[in-house]
A and B are shown apart, each in its own frame.
Chain A
């Protein structure tokens, strides 16, 4: 899973960012990107907890952070190195950050 995150200090390199549509098309056609989407703003977030059997619903994200998850891509990669190579070509690698995390139940 690749979380696409914002960053308060994006890249200042003036060269244009890679085209996101091209990135999606390329990785979809290789069968590497299984799914993905942009997320709504944190102002649209709702946090849910149950404590002592009581449902607690509150507005907003679970923690106040200036850097937030703004989208995700579900990738099928052989190993971390392949995932890093894919993440490197995503435009948000320069505008924000990408967090790579394997699923816990993958074999090995």
Chain B
């Protein structure tokens, strides 16, 4: 043990241990007690105790094991006071106070607990908002206040929603297990959607990068457990290929950089290789598969000019057929604009706008600006970029759009 650790170092150690250990502790306590709220309260409590004790006692050599022990003892206390089932107490007492080294990568027990949590959170008998919120809270340990902010509701609303979801799991008899056979296949799309949403929350301009890391980790875990599921491989490929660009997406001042302006040397080659290997195992044409193929074309282009836009344009054609959405229609216009010239892009942009759902989506104007710029009308393009900048919510995006406008008027 180290003693005399500074408050900042302790807070950091607690936060790091929390990210790693929290879901494991919650999963284990749910398995033993069946009580979601109790499991989360005790896991939370263990972090609070760590914040009190570690500054004086030093950070333990195995922080995760320390937290597990505190959480388990806390659960025993609570259950004893409630004098509930003897069996739960017995099972809890049997949980070894874990001072063992941290779990190996594929410790079956823990892996299964985590997966059970994911599949329980993603049960179709829970409303989709509840699935996302519960996954963020229980599987990823995101504080309720942060989830509330992410999903744009008040903290008290989110607390009520989470409580209702946990109660519903108990009352409706939703089992805490990974389903098998057809039920697994039926539930997989929900699980994948939650993981992708989690990834997106971390990847967007103002997002929390830890969510994207967590989504990648969970996708890897799911893929290891279900290597034969082509859709899982596709999702894994997609998040890895997108995530490989995370360090290159901003310049030194924090301004967001579009694909063509990124320094490709800063892309994570290992993540790209892993993503491409996962994509090799994809044997179907679903939405994640097409998006992963698009991401792979970008990731393997030596430069922006070398990008295989015709193939990307065809992938968007396929994607818009199987999952029509305004944003995909917009991206398709971009791809066609690069593959077949700005006029082709503008024609598809008009069609996408006519299709509806793009009103008030600021990137629509940014796309138009880019296509107009490439047609040579610099002044109109600059004015459109400024118009788009005024409408975006994120500071980083706004700055990037204003920079484009300035470049066009300067020259």
Shortest distance from the beta carbon of A101 to any chain B beta carbon, whole Å: 8
B172 pairs with A81, CB closer than 8 A:
no
Among candidates A81, A83, A102, residue contacting B171 with C-beta atoms closer than 8 Å: A102
A81 pairs with B183, CB closer than 8 A:
yes
Q: Mark B145-185, 1 if CB is under 8 A from A, else 0.
A: 00000000000000000000000001111110001000100
In the complex, the number of residue pairs spanning A and B with C-beta atoms less than 8 Å apart equals 26
Chain A residues lying within 8 Å of B179, measured Cβ to Cβ, are: 81
Q: Mark A2-19, 1 if CB is under 8 A from B, else 0.
A: 000000000000000000
Bound-complex Cα distance A80 to B171 (A): 10
Bound-complex Cα distance A79 to B175 (A): 6
B55 sits at the interface (CB 8 A): no
B60 sits at the interface (CB 8 A): no
Residue in B125, B173, B183 whose Cβ sees the most chain A Cβ within 10 Å: B173
| Interface size bracket, A side | 10 to 19
Bound-complex Cα distance A85 to B175 (A): 13
A80 pairs with B34, CB closer than 8 A:
no
Bound-complex Cα distance A16 to B26 (A): 47
Shortest distance from the beta carbon of B411 to any chain A beta carbon, whole Å: 60
A63 sits at the interface (CB 8 A): no
Chain B residues lying within 8 Å of A77, measured Cβ to Cβ, are: 173
Chain A residues lying within 8 Å of B123, measured Cβ to Cβ, are: 80
Bound-complex Cα distance A84 to B174 (A): 10
B34 pairs with A108, CB closer than 8 A:
yes
Bound-complex Cα distance A80 to B170 (A): 10
Bound-complex Cα distance A102 to B125 (A): 13
A57 sits at the interface (CB 8 A): no
Return the chain B residue nearest A85 by Cβ: B183
Chain B residues lying within 8 Å of A83, measured Cβ to Cβ, are: 173
Bound-complex Cα distance A79 to B34 (A): 13
Chain A residues lying within 8 Å of B173, measured Cβ to Cβ, are: 77, 79-80, 83, 102, 106
B172 pairs with A102, CB closer than 8 A:
yes
Residue in A77, A80, A85, A108 whose Cβ sees the most chain B Cβ within 10 Å: A80
Bound-complex Cα distance A83 to B123 (A): 14
Bound-complex Cα distance A102 to B168 (A): 11
Shortest distance from the beta carbon of B367 to any chain A beta carbon, whole Å: 39
B175 pairs with A108, CB closer than 8 A:
no
Q: Mark A82-108, 1 if CB is under 8 A from B, else 0.
A: 011100000000000000101010101
Chain B residues lying within 8 Å of A55, measured Cβ to Cβ, are: none
Shortest distance from the beta carbon of B167 to any chain A beta carbon, whole Å: 12
B174 pairs with A79, CB closer than 8 A:
yes
A78 sits at the interface (CB 8 A): yes
Shortest distance from the beta carbon of A75 to any chain B beta carbon, whole Å: 11
Known contacts A79-B173, A79-B174, A81-B175, then 15 further A-B pairs from the complex at CB < 8 Å, ordered by chain A residue? A77-B173, A79-B175, A80-B125, A80-B172, A80-B173, A80-B174, A80-B175, A81-B174, A84-B125, A100-B172, A102-B171, A102-B172, A102-B173, A104-B171, A106-B173
Report the 10 A-B pairs with minimum CB-CB distance, sorted nearest first.
Answer: A79-B175, A80-B173, A79-B173, A80-B174, A102-B173, A80-B172, A81-B175, A80-B125, A108-B34, A81-B179
Offer 19 A-B interface pairs, CB within 8 angstroms, sorted by A.
A77-B173, A78-B175, A79-B173, A79-B174, A79-B175, A80-B123, A80-B173, A80-B174, A81-B175, A81-B179, A81-B183, A84-B125, A85-B183, A100-B172, A102-B171, A102-B172, A104-B171, A106-B173, A108-B170
Mark A residues whose CB is within 8 Å of B.
Answer: 77-81, 83-85, 100, 102, 104, 106, 108
Mark B residues whose CB is within 8 Å of A.
Answer: 34, 123, 125, 170-175, 179, 183
